[in-house]
Structure 1
């Protein structure tokens, strides 16, 4: 499977998906850490992909998304944005609404 197909399948099969550096328990950059905290404060499970372990996705996703930086949050197949946007949405209460509306009833939210 090629990388773009993998990316498309990950986005389509996960209602809430975070492409990040590291994992939610061990973020590897401050922006990923802050984004994870904002997501965790919403109280719903979310899938993630550690781009440090997937250099092919790290290279191709910015082109696919037309968004150059990480982390990237995708909700219901749409790119929401990166750390600054997520933080603004969290502070306004909009992130919790978006997450709640998209939250899947699934047992395992890790895509790796």
Structure 2
């Protein structure tokens, strides 16, 4: 028995997650049990900042796995969103971490929510 996954419903769910979490990482697996090297390195960079972040295991939600690449026209996982903006994948996140900008962006996004 198969059922159709509704693209608009899934995209609305992704939009809600991106807008309701100051920092959200779409990854394969979880930060504690990543399922690919790129997701592992990206999650580790976020953890190292000491800042709060949400994550979505794309392997646990077929709809998100299927339609997230269409959300911001980014074809691969992981995908990092900070303050509603797509930052990019593993390489970009690691560059931001190396420059110190990752912690700054995450702290600023988290501070907006803490003040609300």
The TM-score with structure 2 as length reference comes to 0.87
Residue correspondences, number: 105
Measured in 2, the distance between the counterparts of 1:41 and 1:49 equals 18
From the two aligned structures, give the one with the greater helix fraction: 2
Structure 1 or 2, whichever has the larger Rg, is: 2
- Runs of 5+ unmatched residues, structure 2: 1-7
* Moved >3 Å (runs of 4+): none
Find the counterpart in structure 1 of residue 59 from structure 2.
52
Of 73, 78, 87 in structure 1, the residue corresponding to residue 85 of structure 2 is 78
Cα distance per residue 1:16-47 (max 9 Å; x no partner): 00000000110000000000110011101110
Measured in 2, the distance between the counterparts of 1:64 and 1:5 equals 9
The CA RMSD over aligned residues, in Å, is: 1.1
- Runs of 5+ unmatched residues, structure 1: 106-112
The TM-score with structure 1 as length reference comes to 0.90
